[in-house]
Amino acid sequence: MLQIDSLKVSYGGLHALSGVSLTVGEGRFVAIVGPNGAGKTTLFKAISGTVPTESGTIRFMGKDLASVLPADRATLGIAHVPEGRQVFKSMTVLENLEMGAQTREAQRGFAKSLELIYALFPRLAERRAQLAGTLSGGEQQMVAIGRGLASLPKLLMLDEPSMGLAPAIADQIFETIELIHRERGVSLLLVEQRVAEALEACDYGYVLESGRMALEGTHQDLMKDAKVKQTYLGM
- Whether 184 is covered by a domain: the verdict is no
Q: Is residue 98 part of a domain?
A: no
Nearest one of 163, 181, 171, 185 to 85, comparing CA atoms: 163
In the chain, pLDDT over 90 holds for what percent of residues? 85
Sign of dihedral through CA atoms 191, 173, 87, 193? Answer: negative
Could you tell me which residues come within 8 angstroms of residue 59 by beta carbon, excluding any fewer than 6 positions away? 2, 3, 4, 5, 65
Total domain count, the chain? 1
Asked whether residue 104 is assigned to any structural domain, the reply reads: no
First-to-last alpha carbon distance for the chain, in angstroms, is: 34
Domain of 51? 1-77+191-235
Specify if 144 maps to a domain: no
pLDDT in tens, 28-65: 999 999 998 899 999 999 999 999 999 999 999 999 99
Residue 155 domain-assigned?
Answer: no
**What value does the mean pLDDT of the chain take?**
94
Question: Per residue in 217-235, pLDDT tens?
Answer: 998 999 999 989 998 887 6
Distances (CA, A) of 62 to 1, 76, 157, 178: 7, 11, 18, 26
CATH number of 208's domain: 3.40.50.300
90 occurs within a structural domain: no
Q: Where are the alpha helices (DSSP H) in the chain?
A: 40-48, 93-100, 104-108, 110-120, 122-126, 137-149, 167-184, 195-201, 219-224, 226-231
- pLDDT band at residue 91 using 50, 70 and 90 as cut-offs: very high
HSE-up of residue 233 (Cα within 13 Å, Cβ side): 16
The answer to the question of residue 140 being in a domain is no
Domain assignment present for 126: no
- pLDDT beyond 70 at 86: yes
CB 34 within 8 A of CB 40: yes
pTM of the model: 0.93
